[in-house]
């Protein structure tokens, strides 16, 4: 059973999650300041608080499907899917899914990549929340959105633990679906 939290208590818990996120300069490339969430994951209470923050905006109208983006999105997508009684659909890097897939190329803040989804991953008309640990330029989440929409899914929203505001990822995602970020740097 979930604990009922007052807003001030929830704010303090979120502040603890924020403080636990480690900043690692020059990773994975020089000039990048990486926000490392592993300290949050290593503390069950903080991890639970992070999942609660990701879920809160969608708890009143849970999705049918959680689309979790490889790889750290899987860490948050699984508990969210369980919480909402939703299906979990992984969106993965090329060659990682065993059945027929659809692929989408996208840009990162430091290169390009490709995501894939199984062709039978969701039914047309499914309400989907796309989940990842971080919103940077929005390229990865936007590619996941295009994959969902190409299969007939309806993106009901995006949920991220961290948003790097200066990279303006929200702009890339547009205004068609709500974008929730628990923590903004």
Model pLDDT for residues 126-171, shown as the tens digit of each residue? 999 999 999 999 999 999 999 999 999 999 999 999 999 999 999 9
Longest dimension (CA), the chain: 47
Q: Based on the number of CB atoms within 10 Å of its own CB, is 44 exposed (0-12), middle (13-18) or buried (19 or more)? A: exposed
Establish whether 109 is a catalytic residue: yes
Residue with the two structure tokens 């065993």: 98
Model pTM? 0.93
**pLDDT tens string 168-185:** 999 999 999 999 999 999
Residues near 6 by Cβ (< 8 Å), separated by ≥ 6? Answer: none
- pLDDT of the residue at 4: 39
Length of the chain: 185
Q: Exactly one of 13, 35, 70, 72 is catalytic; which is it?
A: 72
> In the beta sheet, which residues pair with residue 115?
104
- Rounded alpha-carbon distances, angstroms, from residue 88 to 46, 84, 151: 22, 10, 15
Name the catalytic one among 5, 83, 102, 109.
Answer: 109
pLDDT of residue 107 exceeding 90: no
Verify whether residue 5 is a known catalytic residue. Answer: no
Q: Are the C-beta atoms of residues 57 and 161 closer than 8 Å to each other?
A: no
Q: Which one of 1.20.1260.10, 3.90.650.10, 3.40.50.2020, 3.40.605.10 gives the CATH number of domain 7-184?
A: 3.40.50.2020
Out of 20-29, 100-109, 131-140, 144-153, pick the least confident.
Answer: 100-109
| pLDDT confidence tier of residue 86, bands split at 50, 70 and 90 | very high
pLDDT at 113: 93
pLDDT of residue 6: 44
Q: Are 109 and 138 in contact (CB under 8 A)?
A: no
**Residue 164 CB neighbour total at 10 angstroms:** 18
């Amino acid at each position: 059973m979930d604990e009922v939290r007052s807003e001030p208590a929830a704010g303090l818990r979120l502040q603890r999650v924020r403080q636990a996120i480690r900043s690692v300069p020059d990773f994975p490339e020089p000039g990048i300041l990486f926000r490392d969430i592993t300290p949050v994951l290593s503390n069950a209470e903080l991890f639970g608080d992070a999942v609660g923050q990701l879920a809160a905006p969608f708890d009143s109208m849970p999705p049918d499907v959680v689309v979790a983006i490889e790889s750290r999105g899987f860490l948050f997508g699984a508990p969210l899917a369980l919480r909402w009684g939703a299906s979990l659909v992984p969106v993965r890097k090329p060659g990682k899914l065993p059945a027929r897939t659809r692929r989408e190329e996208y840009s990162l803040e430091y290169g390009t990549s490709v995501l894939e989804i199984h062709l039978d991953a969701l039914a047309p008309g499914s309400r989907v929340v796309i989940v990842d640990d971080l919103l940077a330029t929005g390229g990865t989440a936007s590619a996941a959105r295009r994959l969902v929409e190409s299969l007939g899914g309806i993106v009901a929203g995006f949920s991220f633990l961290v948003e790097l505001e200066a990279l303006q990822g929200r702009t890339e995602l547009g205004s068609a679906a709500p974008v929730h970020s628990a923590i903004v740097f």
